[in-house]
Structure 1
Amino acid sequence: MTKQTKTKDYFSALSSDLPASIVVFLVALPLCLGVALASNAPLFSGIIAGVCGGVVVGIFSKSHLSVSGPAAGLTAIVASAITSLASFEAFLVVVVLSGMIQILLGFFKAGIIGDYVPNSVIKGMLAAIGLILILNQFPHLLGDSASLEIDENTPNPDKGNIFVNFFKAFGNINAAAVIIGGICLAFYFLWEGWVADKKGFIKLFPTPLIIVFIGVGLNALFGTLQIVTPLSDDHLVRIPVASSSSEFWSFFTTPDWSFITHKDVWVLAVTIALVASLESLLSIEAVDDLDPYQRVTPTNRELKAQGIGNVVSGLLGGIPVTSVIVRSSANVLAGAKTKMSTIYHGIFLLLSVAFIPTILNLIPKAALAAILIYTGYKLAKPSLFKAFYKKGMDVFLPFVITIVAILVTDLLKGVIIGIIVGLFFAFRSNFRKAVFVVNDDKRYLFRLRKDVSFLNKAIIKHKLEEVPENAIVIIDARRADYIDRDVVETIEDFILHAHLKNIKVELHTSAFVDHGFSYKILANNNEDGHLRRNYEEVIEAVIQSGNYKRYN
């Protein structure tokens, strides 16, 4: 695709990307501030990271819909790093170095890691984040500001975790927040249902933007009519306000390079680079799955883009960035078509804190909570659980366990647990399907399929030992792609001693040659006349028999 073609595509998608970028901006703004606060970092560092994630990563990435910014999955690491280094400027050195490491990972083609995560785990991650969004935002919908707006499950030891905050919120209800949040949420569901099949001008109005206007308007109305006490302070968005341009530029911080020789700085840089890279790859995989056009992001290029974003963020005074699923999901659901949406949202973040912070500080968190709760519902709809249940336990259990693991731990640990569970079921499925044993009367069929590993040796040996005297054993390996040498030796040993029990063994000779079976064994098998009957007819007769036992 030429540069001229790309420019044309970006221009034609402007009507979709611009409204979507406003939605992402409204979602990202409180998240940037919340993640910075949870990381024990200056609030403005979260905004800087959001701008770098949107503009810098957006420019260098080839992802069409992914949105990058500060992620709550790193808050525990960042907060601990800042505390241990006792200097935010020293931590900025860590951010820059971690970005450089990510760039190297991209050149070493480490992006392939994301391709080995099962789809059930990715879907489970999305559903878990959706549930976390709902739980995490409900306190704000009810007017209890005990927790921050974060896009993963990162408990704050001073404020409790999302479950504690969820239940505690019902004891700290704010009337104005409940009215604003309830009306906004109900409007969101009704409006989306009404415009779903509509076309034309009505589609140009992004629902979250309407929600924000409703929230600000209702709060202003409460202040005018004194129906209920209007929301203020912690219940509204809080952005640092600069009284002059010099004060605004003072919000930016530069790294203290005297710390670059410290061992802890390098250890932390490697840790953040690895965790941020894994989270970005998982997010990219999930976003590509959500993409209605099913476009695929070059993962190695994404690692380089994330690295460049972190280098710039660290140089300007920002915390680390990753590809983040909540903002990316909001971007997809808002109808974005190209990566210009994420770039626009980064520009809006910068312009908003520079020129209209006072206006943005009028937005009620309850209105933003309604937007995020609806996004969470779209990610964790009941129909998704039903669809995975119909696919079978081998898929459903990794999906559910991933969700539970993320809810009770955090995003990274939960996904790792989900991958382990997914691998277990994959091995289990392969183990069960690799060996197929049936018998009727004294005719036994051993069919070896796919990859027969040493793990299958025990069941094969046990079933061969159960074969009674005077039986006929048919061993079919035509469908096996690989047979482990231990299994080959087990079968060969059985064939060599089968005559002691007057057991006749029939092999499909050509199928065993490629798997390392002894030519002597195969030759003896033929010489003994064990292939006198039609091989296919015998197998079919065994399988079609109505009174056989099956082991697999």
Structure 2
Amino acid sequence: MTPALEPSTLRADFSASLVVFLVALPLCVGIAVASGVPAEVGLVTGIVGGIVVGALPGSTFQVSGPAAGLTVLVFEAVQAHGTGALGAIVLASGLAQLLLGVLRMGRWFRAISVAVVQGMLAGIGLVLVLGQLYTLTDATAPGSGPAKITGLPGLVADTLASPQALSATALGAGTIAVLVLWKRLPGRVPAAVPAPLAAVALATGATAAFGLPVDTVGVQGLLDSVNLPGVSDLAALGDIAMLGTVLAFTLIASAESLFSAAAVDRMHDGPRTRFDKELMAQGTGNTVCGLLGALPMTAVIVRSAANVRAGARTRAARVLHGVWLLLFAAFLPAALGLIPVAALAGVLVHAGCKLVPGRELVSLWREHRGEAVVLGVTAVAVVATNLFEGVLLGLLMAVIKTAWETSHIHTDVEECHGRVRVRLTGNATFLRLPRILDTLEALPQDRPVDLDLSGLRHLDHACRTALTNWAARHAGAGTEPVRTHEPADSAS
């Protein structure tokens, strides 16, 4: 009997699949509602992530589905282009991921600055929290990040004046409290029942028991939620704004999945992730989700960690979790209509807060201040503008920081026999040019100068031009021409 078919392995995978299903169910529904699409659309993505991606090679224990990290971008795309165009965008993103996997680009995603990725997730977390604070009170959130912030005082005033808003806020706050305190409860129940499921179940029970007048999840049926992209939706992919959204979906979903794979690999001693194959698996899943008009998917660290900790041994665990989602969506769709929207908002507020690396930022500021600045600028830019522009600014900051740190230059000045000897060592780039010229222009104008550049590892065109001009000015002041010792390698 093969190891995968041993009774102990089957029991372990079956048990783990139930745990992952219970973790995934409220998250799939909550992310869909927060993204501005029907709840069943999130379940469709979870089903595809389990049954399709779960059966493909790449990672053994990583679980895929709709991710909180893409909620903001999906909501913006739905608002800008409509629900019909969402499938076309996800389809194009999936095909792009497949192409990247075929080109063996998976490993290059690990070269993205960690500070930029953390800043991106922190910005997403902040926007998610700000938006869900409105949903927490059964209110509609403004469109932009700054508008969400400036609208908070009005939200508080409106909530205090509305019994329905107060009831919804109490449910949402109670949901968050359960999520925070669940693992601290005594006994075996916290370990056996996932916190998101417990929090949403308790909120749903309280709503039914007390007849609270709050908004609940709208239900339209699994088949009715499938929205195949039409010809006009696919033709709209030629629009620049749509292509920008496709690029953002592709890069962020791929990076988040592969970073998650690296984190999951550190949790177990089983087979390591094959990054290019995992990227192709994610691309296949997103292609199928696009054809069905569903949400984009990524590998999700919360569900993946639950899978590992529950004792999964093979891919069967994540495939079975997709089967349980399918059975629930097919036979118990009415149960979704009992869930209060404020409870799902509480789950996403908690998830958004976990995306903000508070403790890590403090230690990063102490040890690598430049990385902390990149992280902070990226997060603020995501909140102030949008996800795509914020990430681009973060990448630009990371490149500038790296260029600055690598362009170290050291200047030694000494006088010998009436001549001034200046020796430059390190990397002479335009970023350090002001410092170099300040040193040279402070030299005595009435003495000959020996400029030794042989210790430079790199001399770019801007520095070479500036040094040549300075030498000409120095010679024009009536002193001997500057004697220059060239570096072994310089940029022309």
- 2:28 aligns with 28
Query: What secondary structure is seen at the aligned counterpart in 1 of 2:339?
Result: coil
Question: Contact 2:94–2:287 at 8 Å: present in 1 too?
Answer: yes
Q: What's the offset of the Cα at 1:276?
A: 1.9
CA, structure 1 residues 104+176, in 2 after alignment: closer, same or farther (shift >3 Å)?
A: same
- 2:118 is the alignment partner of 1:127: no
- 2:324 is the alignment partner of 1:330: no
- 1:150 aligns with none
CA distance in 2: counterparts of 1:493 and 1:271, whole angstroms: 44
- 2:149 is the alignment partner of 1:163: yes
CA distance in 2: counterparts of 1:26 and 1:56, whole angstroms: 20
Question: Contact 2:28–2:43 at 8 Å: present in 1 too?
Answer: no
Aligned residue type for 1:184: T
Aligned residue type for 1:418: G
- 1:547 aligns with none
Q: What's the offset of the Cα at 1:357?
A: 1.6
Give the number of equivalent residue pairs.
465
Choose which of 398, 408, 413 in structure 1 pairs with 2:384.
408
- 2:345 aligns with 369
Choose which of 42, 53, 57 in structure 1 pairs with 2:53.
57
CA, structure 1 residues 505+271, in 2 after alignment: closer, same or farther (shift >3 Å)?
A: closer
- 2:425 is the alignment partner of 1:448: yes
Q: What's the offset of the Cα at 1:437?
A: 1.8
- 1:239 aligns with 219
Q: 1 or 2 for the larger relative contact order (CA 8 Å, sep ≥6)? A: 2
CA distance in 2: counterparts of 1:14 and 1:305, whole angstroms: 22
- 1:520 aligns with none
Choose which of 343, 353, 378 in structure 1 pairs with 2:354.
378
CA, structure 1 residues 185+350, in 2 after alignment: closer, same or farther (shift >3 Å)?
A: same
Question: Contact 1:470–1:504 at 8 Å: present in 2 too?
Answer: no
Question: Contact 2:171–2:203 at 8 Å: present in 1 too?
Answer: yes
Q: What's the offset of the Cα at 1:365?
A: 2.9
- 1:279 aligns with 252
CA, structure 1 residues 101+285, in 2 after alignment: closer, same or farther (shift >3 Å)?
A: closer
CA, structure 1 residues 238+306, in 2 after alignment: closer, same or farther (shift >3 Å)?
A: same
CA distance in 1: counterparts of 2:250 and 2:401, whole angstroms: 26
- 2:195 aligns with 207
- 2:122 is the alignment partner of 1:146: no
CA distance in 1: counterparts of 2:258 and 2:304, whole angstroms: 14
Query: What secondary structure is seen at the aligned counterpart in 1 of 2:35?
Result: helix
Aligned residue type for 1:186: A
Choose which of 138, 147, 172 in structure 1 pairs with 2:159.
172
- 2:381 is the alignment partner of 1:390: no
Aligned residue type for 1:366: A
Question: Contact 1:23–1:206 at 8 Å: present in 2 too?
Answer: yes
Choose which of 319, 324, 345 in structure 1 pairs with 2:294.
319
CA distance in 2: counterparts of 1:407 and 1:118, whole angstroms: 19
Aligned residue type for 1:30: G
Q: What is the CA deviation profile of residues 235-282 of structure 1, one whole-angstrom value per residue up to 9, with x for unaligned ones?
A: x233324xxxxxx6455454556x59x854555775554232112123
Unmatched tracts of structure 2, length 5 or more: none
Choose which of 495, 507, 515 in structure 1 pairs with 2:489.
515
- 2:192 is the alignment partner of 1:219: no
CA, structure 1 residues 124+254, in 2 after alignment: closer, same or farther (shift >3 Å)?
A: closer
Q: What is the CA deviation profile of residues 171-192 of structure 1, one whole-angstrom value per residue up to 9, with x for unaligned ones?
A: 2253433333333323332333
- 1:19 aligns with 19
Question: Contact 1:185–1:370 at 8 Å: present in 2 too?
Answer: yes
CA, structure 1 residues 490+4, in 2 after alignment: closer, same or farther (shift >3 Å)?
A: farther
Aligned residue type for 2:102: F
Q: CA RMSD in A?
A: 4.4
CA distance in 1: counterparts of 2:180 and 2:302, whole angstroms: 15
CA, structure 1 residues 440+297, in 2 after alignment: closer, same or farther (shift >3 Å)?
A: farther
The aligned runs of 1:238-257 (5 Å cut-off) are 238-241=218-221, 249=223, 251-256=225-230
- 1:538 aligns with none
Q: What's the offset of the Cα at 1:80?
A: 4.0
Q: What's the offset of the Cα at 1:393?
A: 3.4
Aligned residue type for 1:331: R
CA distance in 2: counterparts of 1:515 and 1:11, whole angstroms: 64
Q: What is the CA deviation profile of residues 346-387 of structure 1, one whole-angstrom value per residue up to 9, with x for unaligned ones?
A: 434322221112223222233333333333333325323312
Choose which of 386, 395, 399 in structure 2 pairs with 1:423.
399
Query: What secondary structure is seen at the aligned counterpart in 2 of 1:172?
Result: helix
Q: What's the offset of the Cα at 1:404?
A: 0.7
CA distance in 2: counterparts of 1:201 and 1:43, whole angstroms: 28
CA, structure 1 residues 388+467, in 2 after alignment: closer, same or farther (shift >3 Å)?
A: same
CA distance in 2: counterparts of 1:301 and 1:129, whole angstroms: 27
CA distance in 2: counterparts of 1:333 and 1:131, whole angstroms: 23
- 2:411 aligns with 437
CA distance in 2: counterparts of 1:91 and 1:504, whole angstroms: 65
Q: What's the offset of the Cα at 1:454?
A: 5.4
- 2:44 is the alignment partner of 1:48: yes
Q: What's the offset of the Cα at 1:205?
A: 2.6
- 2:66 is the alignment partner of 1:69: yes
CA distance in 2: counterparts of 1:493 and 1:80, whole angstroms: 53
Unmatched tracts of structure 1, length 5 or more: 148-154, 224-229, 242-247, 518-552
Query: What secondary structure is seen at the aligned counterpart in 1 of 2:31?
Result: helix
Choose which of 162, 174, 190 in structure 1 pairs with 2:181.
190
**What is the identity percentage for the equivalent residue pairs of Structure 1 and Structure 2?**
23
Aligned residue type for 1:284: S
Question: Which deviates more, 488-497 or 379-388?
Answer: 488-497
Q: What is the CA deviation profile of residues 189-210 of structure 1, one whole-angstrom value per residue up to 9, with x for unaligned ones?
A: 2333457xx9x78523322222
- 1:482 aligns with 458
After TM superposition, the score normalised by the length of structure 1 is 0.69
Aligned residue type for 1:146: T
Choose which of 305, 308, 311 in structure 1 pairs with 2:284.
308
CA distance in 1: counterparts of 2:181 and 2:87, whole angstroms: 45
Q: What's the offset of the Cα at 1:293?
A: 0.9
Q: Which has the larger radius of gyration?
A: 1
Question: Contact 2:138–2:341 at 8 Å: present in 1 too?
Answer: no
Choose which of 105, 112, 116 in structure 2 pairs with 1:117.
112
- 2:266 aligns with 293
CA, structure 1 residues 156+491, in 2 after alignment: closer, same or farther (shift >3 Å)?
A: closer
Question: Contact 1:288–1:294 at 8 Å: present in 2 too?
Answer: no
CA, structure 1 residues 381+332, in 2 after alignment: closer, same or farther (shift >3 Å)?
A: farther
Q: What is the CA deviation profile of residues 76-110 of structure 1, one whole-angstrom value per residue up to 9, with x for unaligned ones?
A: 34554448xxxx4x875665455334423332344
Q: What's the offset of the Cα at 1:69?
A: 2.9
Question: Contact 2:98–2:284 at 8 Å: present in 1 too?
Answer: yes
Q: What is the CA deviation profile of residues 12-46 of structure 1, one whole-angstrom value per residue up to 9, with x for unaligned ones?
A: 56655542442122111121244253xxxx66545
Question: Contact 1:313–1:320 at 8 Å: present in 2 too?
Answer: yes
Choose which of 126, 131, 134 in structure 2 pairs with 1:136.
131
